[in-house]
Chain A
Amino acid sequence: MRWSKERRELTPASRRPSRRRLVAAVGFAAAILLASTLLLYSVPEEKRITIYSNAANYSLPVLERNGDEYVGLLEVFEPLGPVSAKPNGVHWKFRYYEVESEFTAGKTRARIHGADYDLPSNFLLENGRGLVPLSCLGTLMPRILGGPVTFNQNSRRLFVGNVAVHFTAQVNKTTPPKLVMNFTAPVNPTIATSPGELRMAFNHEAVVAPGSQALTFDSKIIPSASFQESNGAADVVVAATVPLMASFANNGRTIIIEPVPQAPAPSQTQTPIPRPPTSASSATPASGTIAPAGIRHYFAVVDPSHGGDERGASLTDQIAEKDVTLAFARRLRQELETRGLATLLLRDNDATLSLDQRASLTNSAHPAIYICIHAASQGKGVRVYTGLVPPDAENHGPFLSWDAAQSAFQLSSRSAEANLVKDLQNKQIPARSLIAALRPLNNITTTALAVEVAPPSDDVSQLNSPAYQQLIASAVAAGVASFRDKLEAGR
């Protein structure tokens, strides 16, 4: 009796601390989860402006300076025609065709084609790069271009001339109902589905809103759609009560959206394209019927060299080459994709990939160009390399020697190298072309280049500067885009 009494008294007392520990552990886990969620959602999206023109549709990063939004003026005009810029102390001379302009760092007054022009806030000069306030583009660009532009500053979408793509949407009362959207030009949106909606993101097309941003249809299955635009892109979101799929017709001018058939879909035959271990590439763009996933044909493969245990060069005590190459490669992918060039990043995290794995992944993807990224503390600017193919490799019939797989593409690689270097030099970026025994260039069965990025000055930490990385990535992407036809032909 005494024992049992003691036990009755002891048992609850001994459990109390473990319950407390349990509550504390649950509370701690919840706090970690909450903090992670907040952190995840609080990462700001990179601001961008998209410019649509007859020459090209392209997207540029918007920079925050002194509380205002700025954009690089040279990058804005570069795809539109011949441009040049020359910094001279605090002055920055800019030329587009025959139109000359002069800006002064820290001043709002500028001279455009012989007339004064006042910027809403100061002109900025950073490493020879001229930045103008974003809000002035609507008035500044017509003065330089000599033609009208339409700038929606809230959504950061700018239309040069009459390039807008309009569309109509109506639901056909068939069984099941179909939403037919007709566009005035071919479109190729990125399509994503989630329960209750199908979202089409128009990142490269100058799609504008129909009369109303909210569309309603006389259908219970597809009752409405809405047009939204923000951060340089336009989205059309179709609401539905059932899962939807999209298909294209009329050479990309028509998109038909209909419910997914209930019967099990026929099995798909897939080309065995190996994907990188954890590629966080953007959503698969639409091409034909949008099924759960599609095979993407990549124009470019970008390979951030090193990674994981293999750090590459120690650029400073804190900066490892593998981190700089990854950051730069991500920017390059973004820049290539904004120019409509589908790009595969071979590693999008700190993964270890062998040189053979990099070559195999690239050759399986059959891209038009392979670009390997390196970074170095020696020298300045950019060095572009093609591979030095070993001489003693022998091909056996259709089987290419692994060490000399590049030999059939050397001419194309050298031509791409020369074009890219010339393009970079035209943009005042020190660039040099070289041949190097650098694997896996000699194992690649397409046009293959290595780009070694060196700092702009003696300050090696500049390699980590987002502005410098963006400048080089944008220039390299523009260079690649300028000879895309040749690359496609050589594929």
Chain B
Amino acid sequence: MIPRHLLIGVAILLAATLGMSVYVWQMRSRVHRTEVSSLNTQPVAPPVSGATERVTLYVAYDDAGVLRPQQVHVQLPAGRQERAAELLRALLTLYLDKSSPHPLGAGSEIRDVYLVDPGLAVIDLNAAFADNHRSGVLVEELTVVSLIQTLSANIPGITRVKILVEGNERDTLAGHADLSNFYDVPAITQTVAQLQSAQ
């Protein structure tokens, strides 16, 4: 016959063990959530003041190797140049999301967009954008065409686009897509048409 006080003691110890297990489990989940949020490498955009507008982003989808227009609501500032930069940042936010259809490397950022008359847009990427970009003809082309088409479809009057990295000219994005020349927007339209069909 086991003494009663011993049974009570064992029951208390078991309850304490169970309670501690639940506590440890909760602590572990909390730490994991903290780690995930600290790994989030999306750039922190400065607050934008302006009206929310419906714009068309040209989003690359790696699975099918296509470019699809996607309408989103974005808060855009009044200035033409600032609008251009915000548009591309909105596109980048989509690409840096966990469920991105066309993932970009960690730390990728649009440093700035300059609109130079007549009709020239200069997109300045940060080094991480190019250095961490995946290499391949199609995957690089999807990125470049996505940026150019998103810009030209929403900002009227852009006829040529030049892409810089950290303010400097660079030969290619990641070994393939040529960045040494200017992109002609009407010529890109034909590429966009091809990239919108999977065949």
Q: Is A392 an interface residue (CB 8 A)?
A: yes
Interface segment, one of B46-54, B76-84, B182-190 = B182-190
Instruction: Give 14 A-B pairs besides A374-B136, A433-B194 with Cβ atoms closer than 8 angstroms.
Output: A313-B174, A314-B135, A376-B138, A378-B139, A385-B137, A389-B187, A391-B186, A432-B65, A435-B190, A436-B141, A436-B176, A438-B137, A438-B177, A452-B136
15 CB-based A-B contacts, threshold 8 Å: A312-B135, A388-B178, A389-B187, A390-B182, A390-B184, A391-B184, A403-B181, A432-B198, A432-B199, A435-B191, A437-B144, A437-B178, A437-B181, A438-B141, A438-B176
Fill in one digit per residue for A195-235: 1 if any B CB lies within 8 Å of its CB, else 0. 00000000000000000000000000000000000000000
Interface residues of B (CB under 8 A from A): 62, 65, 134-139, 141, 144, 160, 171-172, 174-178, 180-184, 186-188, 190-191, 194-195, 198-199
Once the chains are docked, how many angstroms separate the CA of A452 from the CA of B177? 13
Among A321, A433, A439, the residue within 8 A (CB) of B135 is A321
Fill in one digit per residue for A299-334: 1 if any B CB lies within 8 Å of its CB, else 0. 000000010001011100000010000000000000
Residues of A within 8 A of B198 (CB): 432
Given contacts A388-B191, A452-B136, contact A378 B65 (CB under 8 A): yes
Given contacts A378-B139, A452-B137, contact A434 B195 (CB under 8 A): yes
* B101 CB to nearest chain A CB (Å): 12
Once the chains are docked, how many angstroms separate the CA of A27 from the CA of B138? 54
Residues of A within 8 A of B172 (CB): 439
Once the chains are docked, how many angstroms separate the CA of A452 from the CA of B183? 22
Task: Tell whether, in the assembled complex, residue B175 and residue A436 are in contact, meaning their CB atoms are under 8 Å apart.
Answer: no
Task: Tell whether, in the assembled complex, residue B182 and residue A391 are in contact, meaning their CB atoms are under 8 Å apart.
Answer: yes
Residues of B within 8 A of A312 (CB): 135, 175
Which A residue sits closest to B178, measured CB to CB?
A: A437
Once the chains are docked, how many angstroms separate the CA of A437 from the CA of B187? 11
* A371 CB to nearest chain B CB (Å): 14
Once the chains are docked, how many angstroms separate the CA of A376 from the CA of B171? 19
Once the chains are docked, how many angstroms separate the CA of A321 from the CA of B175? 11
Once the chains are docked, how many angstroms separate the CA of A332 from the CA of B187? 31
* A373 CB to nearest chain B CB (Å): 11
Among A391, A433, A452, the residue within 8 A (CB) of B187 is A391
Task: Tell whether, in the assembled complex, residue B137 and residue A392 are in contact, meaning their CB atoms are under 8 Å apart.
Answer: no
* A352 CB to nearest chain B CB (Å): 13
Q: Is A383 an interface residue (CB 8 A)?
A: yes
Q: Is A480 an interface residue (CB 8 A)?
A: no
Task: Tell whether, in the assembled complex, residue B177 and residue A436 are in contact, meaning their CB atoms are under 8 Å apart.
Answer: yes
Task: Tell whether, in the assembled complex, residue B182 and residue A392 are in contact, meaning their CB atoms are under 8 Å apart.
Answer: yes
Interface residues in A, total, Cβ within 8 A: 31
Most buried by B among A306, A388, A434: A388
Q: Is A50 an interface residue (CB 8 A)?
A: no
Task: Tell whether, in the assembled complex, residue B141 and residue A437 are in contact, meaning their CB atoms are under 8 Å apart.
Answer: yes
Q: Is A379 an interface residue (CB 8 A)?
A: yes
Residues of A within 8 A of B183 (CB): 388, 390, 437
* B176 CB to nearest chain A CB (Å): 6
Fill in one digit per residue for A355-371: 1 if any B CB lies within 8 Å of its CB, else 0. 10000000000000000
Residues of A within 8 A of B181 (CB): 390, 403, 437, 442
Task: Tell whether, in the assembled complex, residue A313 and residue B177 are in contact, meaning their CB atoms are under 8 Å apart.
Answer: no
Interface residues of A (CB under 8 A from B): 306, 310, 312-314, 321, 355, 374, 376-379, 383, 385, 388-392, 403, 432-439, 442, 450, 452
Among B62, B176, B191, the residue within 8 A (CB) of A374 is B176
Task: Tell whether, in the assembled complex, residue B182 and residue A376 are in contact, meaning their CB atoms are under 8 Å apart.
Answer: no
Once the chains are docked, how many angstroms separate the CA of A422 from the CA of B38? 50
Once the chains are docked, how many angstroms separate the CA of A437 from the CA of B199? 19
Task: Tell whether, in the assembled complex, residue A434 and residue B141 are in contact, meaning their CB atoms are under 8 Å apart.
Answer: yes
Once the chains are docked, how many angstroms separate the CA of A472 from the CA of B176? 21
Most buried by A among B134, B137, B174: B137
Residues of B within 8 A of A452 (CB): 136-138
Once the chains are docked, how many angstroms separate the CA of A379 from the CA of B199? 12
Task: Tell whether, in the assembled complex, residue B134 and residue A391 are in contact, meaning their CB atoms are under 8 Å apart.
Answer: no
Residues of A within 8 A of B137 (CB): 374, 376, 383, 385, 436, 438, 450, 452
Among B135, B178, B182, B194, the residue within 8 A (CB) of A434 is B194
Task: Tell whether, in the assembled complex, residue A439 and residue B191 are in contact, meaning their CB atoms are under 8 Å apart.
Answer: no
Once the chains are docked, how many angstroms separate the CA of A358 from the CA of B199? 30
Once the chains are docked, how many angstroms separate the CA of A434 from the CA of B199? 9
Once the chains are docked, how many angstroms separate the CA of A403 from the CA of B136? 21
Residues of B within 8 A of A378 (CB): 62, 65, 134, 136, 138-139
* A443 CB to nearest chain B CB (Å): 11
By Cβ-Cβ distance, the 8 closest A-B pairs, closest first, are: A313-B135, A376-B136, A391-B184, A390-B181, A437-B178, A452-B137, A435-B191, A439-B178
Which B residue sits closest to A375, measured CB to CB?
A: B136
Task: Tell whether, in the assembled complex, residue B138 and residue A434 are in contact, meaning their CB atoms are under 8 Å apart.
Answer: yes
* B130 CB to nearest chain A CB (Å): 14
Which B residue sits closest to A451, measured CB to CB?
A: B137
* B185 CB to nearest chain A CB (Å): 9
Which A residue sits closest to B180, measured CB to CB?
A: A439
* A403 CB to nearest chain B CB (Å): 6
* B119 CB to nearest chain A CB (Å): 11
Task: Tell whether, in the assembled complex, residue B160 and residue A391 are in contact, meaning their CB atoms are under 8 Å apart.
Answer: yes
Task: Tell whether, in the assembled complex, residue B136 and residue A434 are in contact, meaning their CB atoms are under 8 Å apart.
Answer: no
Residues of A within 8 A of B187 (CB): 388-389, 391
Residues of B within 8 A of A313 (CB): 134-136, 174-175
* B191 CB to nearest chain A CB (Å): 5
Which A residue sits closest to B175, measured CB to CB?
A: A312
Residues of B within 8 A of A450 (CB): 137
Residues of A within 8 A of B194 (CB): 433-435
Given contacts A403-B181, A435-B190, contact A377 B144 (CB under 8 A): no
